[in-house]
Structure 1
Amino acid sequence: MSEYRLKEVSNPRLEKQFLDVVDLIYVNIPQWVRPLDVEISKVFNVNKNKRFLHGNAIRWILFDSQQRPCGRIAAFYDEFTSSSHHQPTGGVGFFECINNQEAANVLFDQAKKWLQLQGMQAMDGPVNFGNRDFFWGCLKEGFHRPLFNMPFNPSYYNDLFTRYGFENYFNQYTYHVLISPESVSPIVHYKAERLKRDPKFTFSNYDKKSNHLIAAEFSEVFNKAWANFPGVRPISTDDATTIIHSLQPIIDPRLIILAHHQHQPIGFFIMIPDLNQIIGKFHGKMNWLNRLRLLYGLKVQKKCSRVIGLIFGVIPEFQGKGIEAGLVKQFEENATQKDFPYTDMEMNWIGDFNPTMMKLVELIGGRIYKTHVTYRYLFDRTLPFERAAILNSNN
């Protein structure tokens, strides 16, 4: 009989324990930054996460024989994304565990059992019950200080997943880029200058006065640019408005670049400051005092020297025509301003199934800095495993 016991998160006390499991796991890892509790809690709030409209989620905490928390896991499914794979596929995420395979197996077994009852035939992990840009993947290489809302974990987590039977579905690369004109390939500059001479194309910074218009343009470009990416859910204008509103306190207009062709949106480059450079001592808490400390550090002290390359997209009919170079060039011009505080960027979440994007980031001086893995576990162990399909240049 196992010495481990599971409890479903069903009340505020257990929810706090679920959040606090990390204190045990990361006590001796100095570069770790605890994610804000509010960022994790809203993932499981039925009033804030629209995935609950067509899916469900559940959380468990693992306790040892002395009733001490020693692990946690969430399981979830979204009817839209689950049906976009070869088999109905759910997810597990927010996984934390001591370095013990038996303990990890108890967590994985429980998640698998619940997902099977929901009709799933596979599970991906560790992933998010939401968009891919946050809390997605298991860090395998590059155990540097984590970015805001990006996953960090001890290296042994990869062994816990693979020993259970998970396999590498795809790698996600984070590229480090020095913000300097010298880092960018002359090819990028050439393409950007050629477009600049064509008045039909314009590149501009975000304008806070046009939130609703920008939300509509963002959703239009996003849905076209990611239409062929399996598992990526379309975004509505209302959803885009909500996202922009939530980011409003931390938005720097120079970090959001928009591309238009004859006044029609065709691409964007969205970055945010890396708030982990400020919130490291918050211990996951965003009370009124820490909120003031965050805004003061961001707006007055300008403590953020690093930006996160969050989303880069161009609609299919304009891909490969230099729009990407134009977006980069506009950002480069912003970076020459005297009060520009950022020195480096981490381009986040570039899948190994997207060689076109990998090549582009290399052209602006990027080098692979971190590697995360999205694992997949097929419930029918007799089925052949297939990695994520490579996207061609027309996707």
Structure 2
Amino acid sequence: MAQITVRPVTSEGDRQQFLEVPQWVYRHDPNWVPPLKASIAAQLSPEDNPFLGYGEFQGFLAFDDQGRAIGRVVAAINQRLIEREGRRVGLFGYFECIEDFAAGQQLLEAALSWLGDRQIEVVRGPINLSTHNNCLFLVEGFERPPMMMMPYNPPYYPQWLEEMGWVKAKDAYAYDFPMEPLSDKFEKAYRIALKSGITFRPIRTKGEGFDEDVRSLYRLFTQAFANNWSSTPRTEADFLEEAQQLKSLVDPDIFPIAEDNGEMVGFFMGLPDYNIALKHVNGTLNIWGLLKFLWYRRQIKQARMITLCALPEYRRKMVPLALVYLTMKGGEKRGYQRAELSWIWEDNHPSRRITEASGGVIGKTYRVYEKEL
């Protein structure tokens, strides 16, 4: 057997090798979409990183006997999550490894050891520092590429964890939607919402209007999802920064907003599936990558629906169903052929009922694992 060496990421050279590991893991996988390396590097930057204000992390690399980096993982402690849950929860994320069980096991053992040295009691993952970044292992639905900002992994990752004694913490689902007309009850819901005084409009994408909408989205998002499992609220600054990065990618036709007397009370956040274009840029948006991205984005005929949100008191006014109605109408107008709503926790029954009533069918299953130390 090849000799495996695992060591912590400590230098700029290590960080560059860390970013390159997925290229080796997925070199023969036609469904893989390379993540933007600059985005991963920013999340794990040792300088000017907002996460380091309330947490700490350590990356590890696995090397084969020829000195090639064949695997990676990050162990992390999010103090906000610990305070919220009242117990010492640690995280692992950014896990990638070639199909070598010994290498994968040694990587995870290194992460567990680092967390154990810091009095962590239970480890959860994969979660890349926070559920606001990438998280989850795909466990069912490997036949299709991932939608934008959704995880993807080889089937052997979850198999390995189960062999190592990790257990399921929670599943999440991605729902497939054909772009077909909805039942009449959705249009009726839209009419009821209008009669109740609710107004609807697309998100604004320019100037002060965009900034105002993003701040309203942040307030609503934070209020509506304050109790999400294994999650802690983002700061407004973090939310605004992420929104600026996505500003040029927004399609207002699939991002409707509901208002009551000018105050945002609901939204349905959708984006074109830019993975169709990102697949061709190999993780780097240099001048040639950008040109390829602009060329291939014209081929996008599917969308990822990210979040359906409405304040509880507006559900009886049919705001969620009205938002679904407007989004599907907008998608048909733009020529989208299919959509995916992802992801929804398995125990989020209100969202699942609306999704399934809209014609959504579970297409993929994802999982977060836990292990007691």
Shorter-chain-normalised TM-score: which range? over 0.9
Deviates more, 1:55-64 or 1:111-120: 111-120
Kindly indicate whether residue 336 of structure 2 is the aligned counterpart of residue 326 of structure 1: no
Partner Cα distance (1:135, 1:235) in 2 = 14
Contact 1:218–1:240 (Cα < 8 Å) also in 2: no
After superposition, give the CA deviation of every residue in 1:64-116 in whole Å (9 maximum; x if it has no partner). 23322221111112111233335221211111123333222211111111112
RMSD of Structure 2 on Structure 1 (CA): 2.0
Query: SS in structure 1 opposite 2:30?
Result: coil
Partner Cα distance (2:325, 2:48) in 1 = 36
2:109 corresponding residue in structure 1: 109
1:232 corresponding residue in structure 2: 231
Kindly indicate whether residue 364 of structure 2 is the aligned counterpart of residue 367 of structure 1: no
| Match runs of 1:197-346 below 5 Å | 197-198=195-196, 200-209=197-206, 210-298=209-297, 302-337=298-333, 340-346=334-340
After superposition, give the CA deviation of every residue in 1:8-45 in whole Å (9 maximum; x if it has no partner). 22223222211221222222221212111112112112
1:389 corresponding residue in structure 2: none
Change (3 A) 1:55 1:131: same
Offset of residue 336 of structure 1: 4.3
Partner Cα distance (1:48, 1:188) in 2 = 46
- TM-score normalised by L of structure 1: 0.88
After superposition, give the CA deviation of every residue in 1:274-298 in whole Å (9 maximum; x if it has no partner). 1110121222111122123323433
Contact 1:176–1:366 (Cα < 8 Å) also in 2: yes
- Which letter does structure 2 place at the counterpart of 1:233? T
Offset of residue 61 of structure 1: 0.8
1:186 corresponding residue in structure 2: 184
2:177 corresponding residue in structure 1: 177
2:68 corresponding residue in structure 1: 68
Offset of residue 2 of structure 1: 9.3
1:347 corresponding residue in structure 2: 341
After superposition, give the CA deviation of every residue in 1:135-164 in whole Å (9 maximum; x if it has no partner). 211111001111223211111111111111
Contact 1:222–1:235 (Cα < 8 Å) also in 2: no
Identity %: 25
- Aligned length in residues: 370
Contact 1:192–1:323 (Cα < 8 Å) also in 2: yes
Change (3 A) 1:29 1:296: closer
- Which letter does structure 1 place at the counterpart of 2:210? N
Query: SS in structure 2 opposite 1:84?
Result: helix
Contact 1:43–1:130 (Cα < 8 Å) also in 2: no
Segments of structure 2 that go 5 or more residues without pairing to the other structure are none
- Which letter does structure 2 place at the counterpart of 1:28? H
Partner Cα distance (1:2, 1:117) in 2 = 28
Partner Cα distance (1:212, 1:24) in 2 = 40
Partner Cα distance (2:2, 2:92) in 1 = 22
- Which letter does structure 1 place at the counterpart of 2:359? G
Change (3 A) 1:364 1:48: farther
1:38 corresponding residue in structure 2: 38
- TM-score normalised by L of structure 2: 0.93
After superposition, give the CA deviation of every residue in 1:355-380 in whole Å (9 maximum; x if it has no partner). 1111111111111111111111111x
Offset of residue 234 of structure 1: 2.1
Change (3 A) 1:378 1:78: same
- Which letter does structure 1 place at the counterpart of 2:95? F
Query: SS in structure 1 opposite 2:299?
Result: coil
Query: SS in structure 1 opposite 2:31?
Result: coil
Query: SS in structure 2 opposite 1:83?
Result: helix
Partner Cα distance (1:320, 1:8) in 2 = 53
1:145 corresponding residue in structure 2: 145
Offset of residue 311 of structure 1: 1.8
Change (3 A) 1:197 1:43: same
Offset of residue 47 of structure 1: 5.1
